């Protein structure tokens, strides 16, 4: 099994200066100095200095003029399936220095997937990466959960977005979603809860909690070697190999943090 540092080669905007602390945000935007902007915004979000952030990862604020921005904005919008509406406001490309992915043939099943979390967890994930959660009775056990529908993951960012919340989401509220390349390998399609699982079943690499509503596979795009399942939401076809799926939306569960590479952090706003 090969190990490699998975840093994409996509062209980034030139940044000849290590810091632009004496320039305001508008000036940096006007000069298209997106790396300093990325660090500046994430410094405000995390409370860490730009120097501290640079020790863990590189970042760039992705321009809305880039094709990558368009692809992810399409993914973000097509994946909204709940009553609330969201708008993507910022897109940060992230390259964590410690992110390593393990690949064999399973690299053929690599997807860009959403992971939602509360704001207080963002700093830890950016600087230290994902960690296995403590057992808490989740449906598929002690793993890391991802989704291909934006609003499914966004519910875990803001309490007011949860269906069980007594409060309606307030317009203007902001949250953040991680968009990760997840090496799923051979997925076990589970139709029942597996609350006590700490690893995928024998001969499998991950678990798919299959949903009744799925992205249209014919509209998927690519980001390097990963599929972007950005198609519009459709009902799972009756001809699909998975019948009577247990969930409304797909959930993907991995139990090895080395299967996850953070690619982007998305800021969104309730509209």
Phi, psi at 74, each rounded to 5°: -60, -45
When mean pLDDT is compared over 22-36, 80-94, 124-138, 233-247, the highest value belongs to: 80-94
pLDDT band at 138, cuts 50/70/90?
A: confident
Question: 162-194 in b/e burial notation, b at 16+ Cβ within 10 A?
Answer: eeeeeeebeeebebbbbbbbbbbbebbebeeeb
In order, the DSSP letters of 97-119 are TT-EEEESGGGGSEEEEEEE--G
The answer to whether residue 19 scores a pLDDT higher than 60 is: no
Over pLDDT 70: what percentage of the chain? 82
The mean pLDDT value for 156-185 works out to 84
- Report yes or no: 75 and 140 within 8 Å, Cβ to Cβ: no
pLDDT digit string, tens, across residues 223-239: 988 999 999 999 999 88
pLDDT at residue 168, rounded to an integer: 66
pLDDT at residue 241, rounded to an integer: 86
Average pLDDT over the chain, rounded to an integer: 86
pLDDT at residue 169, rounded to an integer: 72
Return the higher-pLDDT residue of 103 and 59: 59
pLDDT band at 160, cuts 50/70/90?
A: confident
The mean pLDDT value for 63-74 works out to 95
The answer to whether residue 162 scores a pLDDT higher than 80 is: no
pLDDT band at 40, cuts 50/70/90?
A: very high
Give the separation between CA 251 and CA 214, rounded to whole angstroms.
Answer: 10
pLDDT at residue 107, rounded to an integer: 56
- Report yes or no: 143 and 207 within 8 Å, Cβ to Cβ: yes
Return the higher-pLDDT residue of 205 and 138: 205
Burial of 138 (0-12, 13-18, 19+ CB in 10 A): middle
Element housing 93 (H / E): strand 86-96
The answer to whether residue 246 scores a pLDDT higher than 60 is: yes
The mean pLDDT value for 50-72 works out to 95
pLDDT at residue 11, rounded to an integer: 45
In the chain, where does DSSP find H-type helix? 25-30, 34-46, 50-54, 67-78, 122-128, 150-154
User: CATH for 56-270?
Assistant: 3.90.228.10
CB pairs under 8 A, 24+ apart, for 21-25? none
Considering Cα of 195, then 197, then 202, then 206, what sign does the dihedral take?
Answer: positive
């Amino acid at each position: 099994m090969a190990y490699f540092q998975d840093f994409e080669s996509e062209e980034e905007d030139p940044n000849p200066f290590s810091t632009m602390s004496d320039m305001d945000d508008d000036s940096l935007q006007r000069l298209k100095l997106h790396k300093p902007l990325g660090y500046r915004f994430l410094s405000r979000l995390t409370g860490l200095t730009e120097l501290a952030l640079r020790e863990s990862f590189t970042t760039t604020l992705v321009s809305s003029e880039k094709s990558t921005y368009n692809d992810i904005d399409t993914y973000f919008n097509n994946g909204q399936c709940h009553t609330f509406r969201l708008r993507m406001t910022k897109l940060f490309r992230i390259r964590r220095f410690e992110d390593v992915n393990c690949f064999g043939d399973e690299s053929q099943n690599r997807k860009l997937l959403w992971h939602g979390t509360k704001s207080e967890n963002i700093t830890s994930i950016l600087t230290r990466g994902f960690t296995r959660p403590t057992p808490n009775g989740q449906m598929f056990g002690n793993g890391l959960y991802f989704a291909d529908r934006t609003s499914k993951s966004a519910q875990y960012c803001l309490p007011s977005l949860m269906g069980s919340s007594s409060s309606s989401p307030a317009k203007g509220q902001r949250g953040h979603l991680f968009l990760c390349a997840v090496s799923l390998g051979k997925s076990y399609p589970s139709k029942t809860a597996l609350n006590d699982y700490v690893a995928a079943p024998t001969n499998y690499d991950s678990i798919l909690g299959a949903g009744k509503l799925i992205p249209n596979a014919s509209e998927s795009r690519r980001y390097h070697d990963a599929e972007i399942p950005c198609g519009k939401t459709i009902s799972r076809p009756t001809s699909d190999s998975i019948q009577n799926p247990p969930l409304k939306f797909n959930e993907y569960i991995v139990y090895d943090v080395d299967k996850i590479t953070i690619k982007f952090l998305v800021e969104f706003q309730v509209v």
